[in-house]
Amino acid sequence: MMLSLISFDILSRIPVKSLCRFRCVSKELYALIADPWFLAAHKSRTEPLLIVGSRQDSSLRLIDMDGSVVKVIGDVGSVCELICTSRDNLACVMTHTGDVKVIDLANGEVLVTLQWKDGLWGFGHTIPSNVYKVVYINGDTYEILTVGDSAGWRKMQLPPTSNISYCTIPVVVNGVLHLMLTSQFDGNSVLSFNLANEEWNKGIKCPPSVDLQKCDPELRELNNSLCMVQPVFQGYDRWTDIWLLTNPDKSTWVKIYAIPLDSSSFSRLIPLRLSCDDRKLLFCDTRESTNISKAQIYDSSRWRCGDAPKALDGAHDTNFSRCSLHLESFVLGKS
Amino acid sequence: MDSTADPKGKRPLYQEDGLAYARAAAAAASATAAAAPDEEEAKPKPKPSSSSEEAKPEPEAEDQAEMPPLVLVAEDGVEVSISRRAARMSHMLRLLMEDSCADGPIPAPNVHSDILDLVVQYCEKHGPYYDPEASERARNPFPPFPVELTPTVSSIKPVTYVDPDPHGLKDWDKDFISLDNSTLFEVILAANYLNIEDLLDLGTTTVADMMRGKKPEEIREIFEIENDYTPEQEAELRKENAWAFED
């Protein structure tokens, strides 16, 4: 009986969709897949998926790294903006009709619907309790809402400075919400807000060559770390520097890529995933002129951008991000 | 402790038994081998390593290259030798070497010599480049980005170009691991017994990749699992997990 081979080690490397099928194999396998220890081991190992929201077909598509569509969540509404990061199994979607919805990716259920208002929106989960919160910032208004809590919007602790940049969206990484400042405060250029205890942490300095007065860097999440995307101009050359925050306490950044961009049109570059073994970067490039988003892979060994799998082709107005399907959502069922 | 429930998901089977058994057997074997003539007469007798070297296996690698290879004894009695440098890849053998219990034949009771040959082949190939710490870092699915990469100053060039596979090990591994299922399973069990993390990772990832996308019937066939569901129960489960069966 070779079942002993199908152990934590092997099963924990198998994606969620296949595991859900394997629950039908035998009772023993069913029990193993539902085991809390296994669920935790699987969660720590599982590769995040790509989530694509489009304006046209009002759906969210979850796509794995081979380019196959794992799940489609329909009837979401025409997607304008998508906030979701690698470890999130809920996504915050803003539609063109002015809704802000928090959607459970496991079953497509809309957990919260809010009215969109102008300002900065942040969304993410706390560590370690995995409670999701929505943050809204505009001028003097700082509000926070816990998903699942009927209390609705609550006042949030005010930040140490109000020099917040409205040009870049806030990003939640590892339970901390990060905001870009327009000018340095106390030597820091990034403010951090801990979602769990709802307090502002000490800030983070910018990478050394980033000058806030000269350019608008953007904050993103890449491979579960904070990432700064900085457009650089030098004469006729344009490229994008991508920095990864390796140590938040010491504000240590490492420049991992300098990607040459077509200098004939302005582009917004969103890094999606860094493949650690071959150093390829999957990113999404949106031409401002046409609003067409294209997923591409930058191969640093060949210094060129290649096309990503077909399933990632975006038409107009497509939003790309990362997400996770947590096995426990399927196995434990709704409580 | 439940032998299959390691929360870290790293090792499917309980390790300690194998190590203790090997140590005891190796110690007993060395005691008797001292009386019998050494088969490898051409090689010089191993020098007793000084205690200061034993704590740090890395600088010892140079010395070990000159020391005689270890001798593993498969379940069919066939002896397979493995160089000390290659043996470092096995946590169990590494500990035996550090404790100086590795001079005599080391039993690998559950492993057939053909499988042992394959495992030794893997270790000999990877041995020269083996760095336990780098290996550990690479195993983390979300590794903190290696800080030793120094950004260059130039403009359009990529800032970090590090050839990820300078020795062509990836391609070699791909060829090596294309084995039939039963051999592959045996290699995984052997890698588990000898505690060779890298080979275990390679094997388990290969099996996981092979299992992905398969239907339940196919899984039952490969792993010889009996379907203990009634048709009604199975139909119910398939309905419950319908999304997983869509393409």
The mean pLDDT of chain A is 84
Tokens 């299992």 appear where? B211
pLDDT value at residue A215: 74
Tell me the ipTM for this assembly: 0.76
pLDDT value at residue B2: 39
d(CA A104, CA A113): 12
Under 8 Å between Cβ of A104 and A330: no
Mean pLDDT across the stretch A46-57? 84
Whether the per-residue pLDDT at B87 is higher than 50: the answer is yes
pLDDT value at residue A256: 82
d(CA B93, CA B99): 10
CB-count burial class (<10 Å; 0-12, 13-18, 19+) for A99: middle
Q: Which residues are within 8 A (CB) of A224 and not within 5 positions of it... i.e. 6 or more apart?
A: A85, A86, A87, A173, A174, B142
Give contacts of B 147-186 with A, CB under 8 A.
147, 149, 151, 155-164, 170, 185
CA atoms within 13 A on the CB side of A239: 19
The mean pLDDT of chain B is 73
Which is higher by pLDDT, A282 or B54?
Answer: A282
| Residue A312 structure tokens | 């990632």
pLDDT value at residue A45: 82
Q: What type of residue is A293?
A: S
pLDDT value at residue A186: 86
pLDDT value at residue A262: 58
Contacts of B156 in chain A (CB under 8 A): 237, 239, 258, 260
Is A26 within 8 Å of B220 when comparing Cβ atoms?
Answer: yes
Q: What angle is formed at CA A38 by the lines to CA A35 and CA A42, rounded to 5 degrees? A: 140
Please give the model's pTM, rounded to 2 decimal places: 0.76
Spell out the SS3 assignment of B124-184: HHHHHHCCHHHHHHHHCCCCCCCCCCCCCCCCCCCCCCCCCCCCCHHHHHHHHCCCCHHHH
pLDDT class for B86, splitting at 50, 70, 90?
very high
Inter-chain CB pairs, A–B, below 8 Å:
168
d(CA A78, CA A59): 7
pLDDT tens per residue, range A206-249? 888 777 777 778 899 998 889 998 888 777 777 788 888 888 88
End-to-end CA gap in chain A: 35
d(CA B244, CA B213): 10
Which is higher by pLDDT, B131 or B36?
Answer: B131
Whether the per-residue pLDDT at B42 is higher than 90: the answer is no
DSSP secondary structure letter of residue A203: -
Q: Which of A94-108, B32-46, B93-107, B121-135 has the lowest mean pLDDT?
A: B32-46
Is A21 within 8 Å of B215 when comparing Cβ atoms?
Answer: yes
Whether the per-residue pLDDT at B44 is higher than 60: the answer is no
Contacts of A27 in chain B (CB under 8 A): 228-229
d(CA A242, CA B159): 10
